[in-house]
A and B are shown apart, each in its own frame.
Chain A
Amino acid sequence: MSDNNAHDLSDLTHPPHHRAEIVFAVASFLVALLLAALWSTETRWIDGQPWSRQPGLWPLIAVVGMLVFGAGELIACLIRNLRRGGGDVAAELGLWLRAGEYVLWFMAYVLITPRLGYLPTTLVFTTLLAFRLGYRGRVLALAPLMGLLIVVAFKSFLAVRIPGGAVYDLLPQGLRNFLVLYL
C-alpha cells in the first residue's frame, strides 16, 4: 500500500492491470477451446428428449460462456498491454512457479499423514518447512508448537475426522487407540 496522500477511488473500482494477465487470458481461452472440442464426447445427447432437458445443455452454456467472455478478455488484454500496463511478465511467472514448490510440500504432508499419523507428520512438516523458510532459533522452535496446537484443537477437541497413521498399529493396543482417537 503506497503512502500516498492523493488517493484515487478508481484504485478500488478498477484494480491496476498487470501485463502478465495476457498469460492467464491465453491459457483460459485455450482451456475453453479444449472443453468446447470435448463437449460432444464428454456429454451425452439423448434422442427424443427436448433440448431443454438434455444433460449436455448446461455444460454447453458454461463452455460457450467461457469462450465468449474468454475471447473478449483476450482481446481486451491485448489492447491494454499495447496501451499501457505495468509489471514484468517473467518475474511474475517466476513467482507463480515459486508457489509451485509449496504444492509439493503440501502434497508430501497429505501423502505421509495416513502412514506416519497426523501428529507426528504435522510436527515434522512444520519444523522442516520453517527450516526451509529460513527460520532459526525461537521462531523455528515455535513451528512444531503451532503444529501441536492445531492438532490438539482440531483432532482432540473438535474431533475432526482424520484417521490414525499406519505406524500406530505397531504400538500397544491402549496407546494405539488413544492416538487414533485424539492425535
Chain B
Amino acid sequence: MDTFLSALTIVSRWDVIAALIAGSVGGVIIGAIPGVGPAVAIAILLPATFGMEPIVGLTLLLGIYGSALFGGSIPSILINTPGTPVNALTTYDGFPMTKQGQAPRALGLSFGASFFGGIFAVIALVLLSPVLARVAPMFGSREIFLAAFLGCVLVVVAHRGQSLAAGALLMFGLFLNTIGMEANNYTRRFTFDLNFLDQGVNLIVVVLGLFAVSQAFVLLAGKDDMEAAPDIKGNVLGGVLEVFRHKRVATAGSLSGTIMGIIPGVGEFTSQFLSYSYARATSKAPGLFGKGSPEGLVASESANNSVPPAAMVPLLALGIPGEALTAMMLSVFYVHNVIPGPTLFRDHMDFVMALYICLALLNILALAFLLVATRPLLRVLVIPNRFLGMMILTLSFVGIYSLRNSAIDCMLAAAFGLLGVVLKRLNLPLVPIILGMVLGGIMEEKFRTSLPRIRSLYNWIDRPVAMVIFCLICIVLALHLWGLWRDWKGKRDGSVEH
C-alpha cells in the first residue's frame, strides 16, 4: 500500500501530468497521420527527454507509444490507409464497415477495443508484478545473457518468410555495436583509423536515421496522395459500448497481445494474427471477416493495443527491450543512470508502479480525447505527404544535432536514412538492426561477467532459470524448423499435384 501511495505521489506531480496529457493527446494525433507513427515521433523526441527526469521523459514517450495505435485506426477505418503499420489489419474490417455507412460504429468499436486491450494489459502487469519482483532477482549475468540470446532468436524466427534477411540485419546491428574503443582491453574495433568512430556508433543516431530520416526521405521522394476522409455522422460512443458484446473476442485478443508483448522480439503483428485467427475460427459468422466484421475489428485492435504495456515487462524486469520502441526508451534510463533490471523491481517498485498508473491513465485520456475530438482530428489526414516529409526531416535535425552538435552524426543518420529507405521499400524489417545493437551490447557484457563462474559448457544452464530459458530457445528453434519443413513439404506436395 505504501508503494502504491508513493507511486500516486509521483504521478500527481504537475510535470508528470503535463507529460501524460501531451503524450497521450500527441500520440493519438501522431497515430492518426499516416506516414508518421510512434517510432518516428519517439525517435525525434528522445534527445529532448534527456533533459527531463526519467519518470517525466518516460511518461511522455509511453503516452505516445500507448496512444498512437488508438489514432492509427482512424485513417485505417475511414480511408483504408493504416495510420501506423500495426493498424494494417484494422483496414480489413474497418474500411468495409465505412463503405457500408457504419463508420462511427467502426470507430467506436476500434476505440473501445483498444481501450479494453490497454487496460487489460495494465491489470495483467499489476497482477504479475509480485511474481516479477520475485523472479527478476533470480536473473544473474548468465540468465540475462541467455534471455538476450532468446530475444535474438525470436526476432529472427518471428519474421516468417524473411528470417534470413532478419538474421543478417540482426547481425549487422550486433556488428555496429562492436565498433569503437573496446572498454576492457582498450583496443579499437573496426574504426578504420577514423577518430570519430572511437566512441562507437550512437544508438540514437541509428534509430533516428532508420526510423525518422528514412521516413522523411520516403515521403519526400513519393507523391502527395492524401485522401479526404468521409464526414462521420453518428454515435461513436455506441460502438465503444458494443465492445462489451464481444467480451470473449476482446479478452482473447488482449490476452494474446499481453503474452506476445511480454515475449521479446514478437510484438503486435503476431498477437493480431493469433487473435484474428482465433476470432474467425470461433465466430458464428466467419464469412463476414474481411468484409466488415465487428468481431474482426475488436480482435485486431484489442490485440495490438495490449502490446505496449506488456512490452514494458522485459524492459523493466530484465533490462531487455523486446522491440524498437522499448529499445529507444532504454536509452532514457541509461542517460539518467537508472538501470532497468532486477534491482529496479527490488529498489524502486514505486517508480515501476507509477509507470503502470501512467499506462492506465493514458488509455483513459486517449479514449476521452477521441470521443470529443475525432471529427476535428480528421483534418490531419489532408496534410500532403511530402509536406509531412519536410516536417519530419526538419524535426529529425533537432533530434540528431542536439545530441552532440556533430555534423558527422547527421551524416551517419542520413546514411542510415538511405538504408532505411531501401529496407522500407523492400518490406524488410528495421527492428532487427536496433535490437541487434542493444541486445548485442547486453550479450557481450553479460558473457564477460559470466565467465569467471563458468568451468564447463553445462555451467551456462545449471541454474533453474537459465535451464528454462535454454529449453525455450530449443523449443523456439525446433518449432521454427518444423514450420519450415512443413512449408517446404506443403510446397513440394502442391507442385507434385500440379
A171 within 8 A of B: no
B427 within 8 A of A: yes
Cβ proximity bits A8-19 to B, threshold 8 Å, 1 near / 0 not: 010111111010
Q: What residues on A are CB-neighbors of B291 within 8 Å?
A: 5
Give the complex CA separation of A13 and B218 in angstroms.
23
Which chain B residues in 80-102 approach chain A with CB under 8 Å?
Answer: 80-82, 88-89, 91-92, 95-96
A62 within 8 A of B: yes
Contact B390 A1 (CB under 8 A): no
B79 smallest CB distance to A (angstroms): 9
A141 smallest CB distance to B (angstroms): 12
Q: What residues on B are CB-neighbors of A117 within 8 Å?
A: none
Give the complex CA separation of A138 and B125 in angstroms.
49
Q: Is chain A's binding surface mostly helix, strand, loop or mixed?
A: helix
Cβ proximity bits B161-175 to A, threshold 8 Å, 1 near / 0 not: 110110110111011
Please judge, given known A-B contacts A15-B161, A125-B394, whether A42 and B427 are in contact too, CB under 8 Å. Answer: no
Give the complex CA separation of A49 and B187 in angstroms.
14
Q: What residues on B are CB-neighbors of A3 within 8 Å?
A: 80, 95
Nearest to B387 among chain A residues (CB) is: A139
B221 smallest CB distance to A (angstroms): 4
Which of A12, A24, A95, A100 is the one whose CB lies under 8 Å from B88? A12
Contact A55 B184 (CB under 8 A): yes
B280 smallest CB distance to A (angstroms): 9
Contact A35 B190 (CB under 8 A): yes
Which of A11, A21, A49, A159 is the one whose CB lies under 8 Å from B51? A159
Please judge, given known A-B contacts A56-B189, A106-B397, whether A24 and B48 are in contact too, CB under 8 Å. Answer: no
B4 within 8 A of A: no
B276 within 8 A of A: yes
Q: What residues on A are CB-neighbors of B167 within 8 Å?
A: 65, 68-69, 72-73
Cβ proximity bits A96-132 to B, threshold 8 Å, 1 near / 0 not: 1011111101110111011000000010011001100
Contact A42 B191 (CB under 8 A): yes
Which chain B residues in 395-415 approach chain A with CB under 8 Å?
Answer: 395-398, 401-402, 405, 407, 410-411, 414
Nearest to B451 among chain A residues (CB) is: A52
Q: What residues on A are CB-neighbors of B402 within 8 Å?
A: 154, 160-162
Give the complex CA separation of A72 and B167 in angstroms.
10
Please judge, given known A-B contacts A16-B427, A59-B178, A146-B391, whether A110 and B88 are in contact too, CB under 8 Å. Answer: no
Please judge, given known A-B contacts A55-B189, A158-B51, whether A24 and B426 are in contact too, CB under 8 Å. Answer: yes
Please judge, given known A-B contacts A6-B290, A13-B269, A65-B174, whether A113 and B401 are in contact too, CB under 8 Å. Answer: yes
Nearest to B421 among chain A residues (CB) is: A99
A44 within 8 A of B: yes
A164 smallest CB distance to B (angstroms): 11
Please judge, given known A-B contacts A9-B277, A113-B401, whether A58 and B410 are in contact too, CB under 8 Å. Answer: no
Which chain B residues in 87-123 approach chain A with CB under 8 Å?
Answer: 88-89, 91-92, 95-96
Nearest to B91 among chain A residues (CB) is: A1
Give the complex CA separation of A21 and B169 in angstroms.
14
B375 within 8 A of A: no
4 extra interface residue pairs, beta carbon distance < 8 Å, beyond A73-B168, A129-B393: A46-B185, A53-B451, A107-B410, A133-B386
B residues in contact (CB < 8 Å) with A: 47-48, 51, 80-82, 88-89, 91-92, 95-96, 160-162, 164-165, 167-168, 170-172, 174-175, 177-178, 182, 184-185, 187-192, 213, 216-218, 220-221, 269, 272-273, 276-277, 290-291, 384, 386-387, 389-391, 393-398, 401-402, 405, 407, 410-411, 414, 417-418, 421-423, 425-428, 436, 440, 444, 447-448, 451
A residues in contact (CB < 8 Å) with B: 1, 3, 5-7, 9, 11-16, 18, 20-21, 24-25, 28, 32, 35, 38, 42-44, 46, 49, 52-53, 55-56, 58-59, 61-63, 65-66, 68-70, 72-73, 76, 92, 95-96, 98-103, 105-107, 109-111, 113-114, 122, 125-126, 129-130, 133, 135, 139, 142-143, 146-147, 150, 154, 158-163
- 8 nearest interchain CB pairs? A65-B171, A69-B167, A62-B175, A15-B427, A14-B161, A69-B168, A7-B290, A160-B402
